[in-house]
Structure 1
Amino acid sequence: MPSEIETRNDSHTSSAVRVSRSQVKKVAVIGAGASGSISLDTLLKENHFSHVTVFERRDKPGGIWCLDEDVGSIPQNVKAGASHELLDPPVENPFKEGGTDYHGKIIASKVAQERFEKTPSYKGLTTNITEKLMTFSDEKSWNVNNDPNYQGQDFVDGLVVQQYIQKYISRNLKDERVSFKTGVVVEDIEKVYGKKDSIPYYFRLMLRRGYNETFDELWQEDFDAVIVATGHYHIPNIPLIKGLPDVEERLPGKVQHAKFYRSPDLYAGKNVLVVGSRASGTDLAKSIAKKANLVYQSIRTPRASFKPDSYGIVQKPIVKKYEVVSSTTFKAFFDDGTESDELDYVIYGTGYQFSFPFLDSLYKESGVQLIKDGTVITDLFQHTFAISQPLLAFVGMPIDGISFRVFEYQAILVSRYLAGKVEMPNRAAMNDWVFQRLQQKGITRAYHTIGITDAFEYIDTLVQLGHIKDPKLSNGRQFPDLDKALVNRFYEEKLKAFWDDGDIQASAKT
């Protein structure tokens, strides 16, 4: 028999994991980007949950597609080799000092540390996934203004995507079962035991929002389950390369990360090295090449199809070391024995680190590691279910691929699980899946990458896990059909055009 989540003893590994139908009624969704908006919509369509609260730390929905034109000064702690623990540590929970039952409010000084709230979006950023694949299955159009003459548009400006998400989430905000709280940061989550009928524990969230210019207001709210939909484009990753710390120390501001890029104007007439070959690195190299004197792009695996002459970009292999050569410039030395001309800037488009500081105390209590090297969330089954925390799920962690549509499949599966309609494998099997994935992909970005190679198999797996055996429980959002021929055709034609042609000047990591 499957083991329901009705015990504080987490030692059960041989029984399937399920939630009883009466267990989860109040759900918290953290984040109001694409994954948060589809999670809300799908939870409501179950007609099972009494209340869903969405917490968004910005003043509007849209996630990474929101545009912050002014990023201000780059945080001083963003350095080569800086870990997510150093960059994004948890905030102290003052309620724990007086016991978790305190339900009043606390007025406290604003948090001084960098929170990395601003997005990596910039003017001119566009999508790189065709409209019919990137949008959700019940809103397959970027027609955010309801234009009756709209003819469809494959690739759109990032602000259109933000408006699409805002429109999608807004259609549910008048539902009496929904609370949508913007400007609110989830700072801590803890388990509270033995306070509700037939449920041994629930989650207590410590929340923060601005009170005035000097102080913040803190309070707590309780939920039966939590969905983390915060995305993964917040904490910059700059690898530690020989000589790079010396450049950072002696030439402040010369080492940058793509998260803080907004315009090519800073690089006019300069020599620039862009490190990274994925979407952000390629976008930046193309954009900066319009105004820079010289642009190098360091690529781990050179692409034979890349046409540097189209942009004046010089393709190079990985950087072996850096050396400062003057009071304003430095050089890069590459793995093939060549070196750059004197450089004015290096920009790292090397991705981001996973960071969930609000889960720090929860995982310390359980003794389970959540994140390895900022790269892999090791406690997740199918990139979705927290193995050691059966009432905690993640939507939106897979990287690349047809992201919005993958998030939709995840949200449907999570909703069915929390409603007690389907069960997950036993914990031993889930941990074995993690082990096998680590054996195949290692502690690398590839672990959570669901590109064209993995997309069909991954989606089929989610559908199989979400199969409802009892036909009486078949209500709710259904898994959409995926046009695999369209996906294959897109990847063969449009994505090749992105790398080789000048038609798509900027594209987002989607």
Structure 2
Amino acid sequence: MGSLPPEQIRRVAIIGAGPGGVVAAKYLLAEDLFDLIDVYEQQASFGGVWNYTKEPHGTIDIPQTNPHQPLEDPIWRSPNPSQNGVIDKDPVATFVSPMYEHLEANIPHLIMKHSDKPLEDNQLFPSRETILTYLEEYAQDIQHLVHFQTQVTNVRCVNQESEALWLVQSKDLKTSSFSLTSYDAVIVANGHYAVPHIPSITGMKVWNEAYPGLITHSKHYRRPSPYTNKKVLIVGNSASGTDIASQIATVSLHPLLLSSHSKSDLFPFSASYKQDVPEISEFLPPSKFDRAVRFANNKIETDIDAILFATGYHYSFPFLSSLSPPLSPTGARVENLYQHIFCIPSPSLAFIGLPSKIIPFRTFEAQAAVIARVWAGRLSLPPEGEMWKWERELVKTRGGGRAFHVLPYPTDFQYHDSLVEWAGRAEGETGDDEGKGKGKKERKWNEKEYWTRGRFPAIKAKFAEKGEGRRGVKSMEELGFDYEVWKREQGKNGDGEN
């Protein structure tokens, strides 16, 4: 299937009103073509994953290897006055978020922001509260499209005369009533931080039964105090693992054990409080050892008080369970996609936000620009054979597992820029700052942004060294990272585009 005829798509459903869903709605609206845009959000407000739940609820299977979990049940709580979408004082639907109390972005605000809304006058690495407020403000102009506290329970494709019709079943969580609405296209923007991934390791199940509650996942971490004076092992050294380790180490016994299978680019410095250890190869029998594990180097560690897995999440879409073949049979990646976006067999189904290790907000904009222009008929998809070839080639280079959607720098910027270039080939005049033309304007990353992206692990390390003083740091220059100085030293001129 090549490009979609513009008359084919007029009614669009968006699942999720987090950052990806909001951006999708804005770009669709800007095309000034679609008759109906419905956004479904199971929470009571904007923000998606950035909504904080003070205490986690529910349990996690140990191990947790099955991505095919049922839809989550809401937790009913009194509304937060700052939450948008809340129009009364009745309890509102909330869902467990992986946000923790003192979380800060690991991306500086220079590149964390949306292209059309500033974020600079804040702490250099913004707090979760700042980002949530920012996202709520950014979403105000699409609020009329959103069905809050409405959970999508099933999405089914019905082919009619070679055209796909999507039937979306939703549940009003306040009344428990169901609705069924038909659409020409569906955007899935539900995020991928709902179903934790905890790998199966020899002896884990028996160990967990003997020491219930000692093994947990970063989704249920909120604050360091429960780990006071405890011997702690953290598994995983990506963004959440390294940040949580630095927090827990302020109260735990030293050294804190950090287990991983590779070196982290987020820990470019030696931390005296931690000891790097290999992967866990075995949880040792409680009958022979006391709270012990064996590592891949055959070393045994005993008397462990807590093990926290910061090992990521499964891709999970319980509302798409009727699709055949399944889009994510193992939860490691989403299959049958072109450019991490379009479902190749049915390009009227699209995804926003699947790649990881990206700069999220701007990447979502580039993905949304392509989707909106393809569905508006201003931009063509390549022939179906080329789309399948793209996926096959990526599997050859990255494998068919979790690495498929991982875009480490500079791949993340290159991916964004390739989408912007593709979107720029759309027919007709694309909107500009004065509102002329159709569609929202987007641009590639500039040289300063590339420079910043390549350095922000080091920038974050300098920021963290400030301790509580970091809260007053608003710019990279205060930490000794000055792009203009660097450019002069390199003998460069202008602000060239990459």
- TM-score by length of structure 1 reads 0.81
Q: What code does the residue aligned with 1:128 have?
A: N
The corresponding residue for 2:16 is 31
* Cα distance in 1, alignment partners of residues 326 and 194 from structure 2: 20
Shift of 1:339: 2.1
Shift of 1:234: 0.9
Shift of 1:444: 3.3
Shift of 1:82: 2.6
Shift of 1:479: 2.2
Instruction: Check the 8 A contact 1:125/1:158 in 2, yes or no.
Output: yes
| Aligned-partner SS, 2:374 | helix
1:167 corresponds to 2:160: no
The corresponding residue for 2:209 is 249
CA deviation profile, 1:31-80 (whole Å, cap 9, x unmatched):
011111111111111111122111000111101100000112424xx221
* Cα distance in 2, alignment partners of residues 181 and 323 from structure 1: 50
* Cα distance in 2, alignment partners of residues 458 and 236 from structure 1: 26
* 1:64-463 aligned within 5 A: 64-75=49-60, 78-85=61-68, 87-88=69-70, 117-141=95-119, 151-173=121-143, 178-194=144-160, 200-211=163-174, 216-294=176-254, 295-302=256-263, 305-309=268-272, 312-325=273-286, 329-361=290-322, 363-364=323-324, 368-463=325-420
* Cα distance in 1, alignment partners of residues 316 and 466 from structure 2: 31
* Cα distance in 2, alignment partners of residues 358 and 19 from structure 1: 24
Instruction: Check the 8 A contact 1:236/1:353 in 2, yes or no.
Output: yes
* Cα distance in 2, alignment partners of residues 58 and 458 from structure 1: 31
Instruction: Check the 8 A contact 1:28/1:223 in 2, yes or no.
Output: yes
* Cα distance in 1, alignment partners of residues 284 and 462 from structure 2: 32
Shift of 1:222: 1.5
Instruction: Check the 8 A contact 1:35/1:407 in 2, yes or no.
Output: yes
Shift of 1:442: 1.3
Q: What code does the residue aligned with 1:219 have?
A: S
* Cα distance in 1, alignment partners of residues 405 and 94 from structure 2: 22
Shift of 1:381: 0.7
* Cα distance in 1, alignment partners of residues 409 and 453 from structure 2: 10
1:468 corresponds to 2:468: no
CA deviation profile, 1:364-400 (whole Å, cap 9, x unmatched):
2xxx241142111111111111111211111111111
**Kindly tell me: are residues 152 and 271 of structure 1, through their superposed partners in 2, closer, same or farther at Cα, counting changes over 3 Å?**
closer
The corresponding residue for 1:61 is 46
The corresponding residue for 1:96 is none
* Cα distance in 2, alignment partners of residues 65 and 327 from structure 1: 43
Gaps of 5+ in 2: 74-92, 431-436, 471-498
Q: Equivalent pairs: percent with the same residue?
A: 27
Shift of 1:302: 3.3
Shift of 1:211: 4.2
The corresponding residue for 1:480 is 443
| Aligned-partner SS, 1:74 | coil
**Kindly tell me: are residues 140 and 429 of structure 1, through their superposed partners in 2, closer, same or farther at Cα, counting changes over 3 Å?**
same
Shift of 1:336: 1.7
**Kindly tell me: are residues 381 and 155 of structure 1, through their superposed partners in 2, closer, same or farther at Cα, counting changes over 3 Å?**
same
**Kindly tell me: are residues 140 and 252 of structure 1, through their superposed partners in 2, closer, same or farther at Cα, counting changes over 3 Å?**
same
Instruction: Check the 8 A contact 1:307/1:500 in 2, yes or no.
Output: no
* Cα distance in 2, alignment partners of residues 161 and 47 from structure 1: 29
The corresponding residue for 1:20 is 5
Instruction: Check the 8 A contact 2:291/2:305 in 1, yes or no.
Output: yes
Shift of 1:489: 2.9
Q: What code does the residue aligned with 2:333 have?
A: V
Give the counterpart of 2:458 among 496, 502, 507.
496
Shift of 1:358: 0.9
* Cα distance in 2, alignment partners of residues 499 and 439 from structure 1: 35
Shift of 1:504: 7.6
Q: What code does the residue aligned with 1:298 have?
A: S
Shift of 1:154: 2.1
CA deviation profile, 1:61-103 (whole Å, cap 9, x unmatched):
101100000112424xx22143112x33799xxxxxxxxxxxx
* Cα distance in 1, alignment partners of residues 466 and 190 from structure 2: 28
Instruction: Check the 8 A contact 1:498/1:504 in 2, yes or no.
Output: no
**Kindly tell me: are residues 451 and 305 of structure 1, through their superposed partners in 2, closer, same or farther at Cα, counting changes over 3 Å?**
closer
* Cα distance in 1, alignment partners of residues 467 and 356 from structure 2: 21
The corresponding residue for 2:474 is none
The corresponding residue for 2:81 is none
Shift of 1:20: 1.2
The corresponding residue for 2:493 is none
**Kindly tell me: are residues 23 and 191 of structure 1, through their superposed partners in 2, closer, same or farther at Cα, counting changes over 3 Å?**
same
Shift of 1:326: 6.9
Instruction: Check the 8 A contact 2:149/2:174 in 1, yes or no.
Output: no
**Kindly tell me: are residues 499 and 249 of structure 1, through their superposed partners in 2, closer, same or farther at Cα, counting changes over 3 Å?**
farther
Shift of 1:490: 3.8
Give the counterpart of 1:46 among 31, 41, 51.
31
Shift of 1:208: 0.9
**Kindly tell me: are residues 486 and 200 of structure 1, through their superposed partners in 2, closer, same or farther at Cα, counting changes over 3 Å?**
closer
Shift of 1:338: 1.8
* Cα distance in 1, alignment partners of residues 135 and 289 from structure 2: 43
Count of residue pairs brought into register by the alignment: 441
CA deviation profile, 1:441-498 (whole Å, cap 9, x unmatched):
1133321112212123212321343243533576211222311332223432x31243
| Aligned-partner SS, 1:231 | coil
User: Which range is displaced more, 219-228 or 346-355?
Assistant: 219-228
